[in-house]
Amino acid sequence: MTTLKRRSWAEPFKIKMVEPLKMTTKEYRQKALIQAGYNTFLLKSEDVYIDLLTDSGTNAMSEYQWAGMMLGDEAYAGSKNFYHLEEAVQKYYGYKYLVPTHQGRGAENLISQILIKKGDFIPGNMYFTTTRLHQELAGGTFIDVIIDEAHQTEVEHPFKGNIDLQKLDDLIKKVGANKIPYVSVAGTVNMAGGQPISMKNIKQVRELTSKYGIKIIFDATRAIENAYFIKTREDGYQNKAIDEILKEMCSYTDGATMSGKKDLLVNMGGFLALNDYAIFEEARNMVVIYEGLHTYGGLAGRDMEAMARGIEEAVQFDHIRARIGQVEYVGEKLLEFDVPIVRPIGGHAIFLDAKQFFSQIPQIEFPAQTLAAEIYLDSGVRTMERGIVSAGRNKDTGDHYYPKLELVRITFPRRVYTQAHCDVTIESIVETFENRNNIKGLKMIYEPKYLRFFQARFERL
Ligand code: F0G
């Protein structure tokens, strides 16, 4: 007789509407892959069985959110949904001022243009693609000051998203505080494998930056997932509610850029939130040029309503536990089969370590790109490269960046897939792993100028 080791989490919802999926054969997928230049971003979504490309904008909305969509006030100016969203951001994130944007990068563009001068440096806990590009387009240089453990896939550390205070202090001393407009702090660091930052670390970064009069801009895209890790891993937070933890994190920062397409359970939307009136005033002026009037920022009224309602649902403990529980389920199963993944298991995704997975493929033959292509071919599961292709090229030398992490991200949309979908995914990855020695790398045959991972094309070697 076996005994029960633990009780499972389960989804705090049931399914009301379904979206049929197309089942394809391996021959079909082989053709689709060649047409897509071995780039999973270029596949047609209808050719994908289980879409784990991203958790961005792919969430299932609740009946409460859909009901809110019907209450969209589509006025050009002063929509009541804007005021609802503003109130929700003030209540749950704690910032004073809100500028809605069509998605996260719209907010990144505004804050980068407002705060960064040519020649500035922006330290942060690992880069994110769009965030760094906006910082660079504004004339700045991003400097990675995350702890070293974040670059080591096997090292277990509860808060791999932490900032190395010594690295930050050294940079400030080297370039001078007046060259650092802000520190870019992200919750659950995407490129590090969905790894959280601790409350203690954010607080320490605040203390250090306050000494020099440097601001902190928080990438709050997955801050609620970060709050879950603080609650479950950091001393003193076990009995605090997710929304209390979220608000405390934000309280150590001066503003936030937000992609609502992740934590906030919507398909489109974002915002810039600020405490400083002068910066807000400038952002509110500028948003009109790039996004739309300051009370809609590129969003329909109904989108703002769905996002406001999404905040309320996203901070519920049962929701966030099931969301992260699903990711942990997949990660733990892969570990049982010795598949190399980034540890600890991240918040929104499992990250396969493609360098270890395909130890025979050198980084310049794109092991992670190859792995994402192979998984699709095997089962129709779509994942994403997060390695040398995503890292792009150094803007001064034109050389590839060779990131230490060469990963494939298996990302889970919120409230979308079942445990059986997870099992199919696990089986496909395990089978690809068992067959790993027969697989060759890729060569790049087309490279776009910006954010090349979206549109680059490859051929098999
Ligand atoms: N910050 C982080 C940490 C992100 O993960 C993203 C988007 C953004 C900012 C930009 O937000 O897409 O709304 O403009 N990440 C998506 C992903 C694209 O798949 O991880 P956006």
Please report the pLDDT score of residue 5 as a whole number. Answer: 80
Range of the domain at 399: 26-55+317-460
In a domain, 325, yes or no: yes
Distance 337 CA to ligand 1 centre (A): 30
Residue 2 lies in a domain: no
Q: Does one domain contain both 271 and 291? A: yes
d(CA 206, CA 197): 13
174 and 73 co-located in one domain: yes
392, two tokens: 């792009």
Choosing from 281, 314, 347, the residue where a domain stops is: 314
Please answer whether residues 402 and 391 qualify as being in contact, where contact means their C-beta atoms are separated by less than 8 angstroms: yes
Task: State the burial class of residue 287 (Cβ atoms within 10 Å of its Cβ: 0-12, 13-18, 19+).
Answer: buried
Same domain, 241 and 173: yes
Active site residue 366: no
Predicted pLDDT of residue 261: 98
pLDDT value for 323: 97
Structural domain tally of the chain? 2
Q: Among the residues of 23-96, which ranges form H helices?
A: 26-35, 63-69, 80-92
User: HSE on the CB side for 245, CA within 13 Å?
Assistant: 28
Q: What pLDDT is stored for residue 53 in this prediction? A: 97
Question: Which of 127, 128, 296, 412 is labelled catalytic?
Answer: 128
In a domain, 4, yes or no: no
User: What per-residue confidence (pLDDT) applies to 160?
Assistant: 97
Please tell me whether residues 269 and 348 are part of one structural domain: no
For the chain (length 461 residues), average pLDDT per consecutive 10?
A: 82 96 97 98 98 98 98 97 98 98 98 98 95 96 97 93 98 98 97 95 98 98 98 98 98 98 98 98 97 97 98 98 97 97 95 97 97 98 96 91 94 98 98 97 95 96 95
Catalytic member of 55, 120, 164, 219:
219
pLDDT of residue 20: 96
To 5 degrees, how large is the angle CA 78–CA 79–CA 83?
Answer: 85
Which pair of tokens denotes residue 437?
């020695």
Rounded to an integer, what distance in angstroms lies between the CA atom of residue 95 and that of residue 190? 23
pLDDT at position 6: 78
Mutate to test the pocket of ligand 1, among 128, 222, 327, 411 (most ligand atoms within 8 A of CB): 128
Residue of 41, 56, 450 with the most ligand 1 atoms within 8 Å of its CB, for mutation: 56
Residues 6+ apart with CB under 8 A from 460: 38, 440, 442
Answer yes or no: do 228 and 354 share one domain.
no
Residue 19 lies in a domain: no
Looking up residue 380, the CATH number of its domain turns out to be 3.90.1150.10
Q: Note whether 241 and 317 are within 8 A (CB).
A: yes
pTM of the model: 0.95
Decide which of 290, 314, 338 is a domain's last residue: 314
Statement to judge: residues 352 and 397 lie in one domain: yes
| Domain presence at residue 6 | no
Final residue before a domain boundary, out of 314, 345, 376: 314
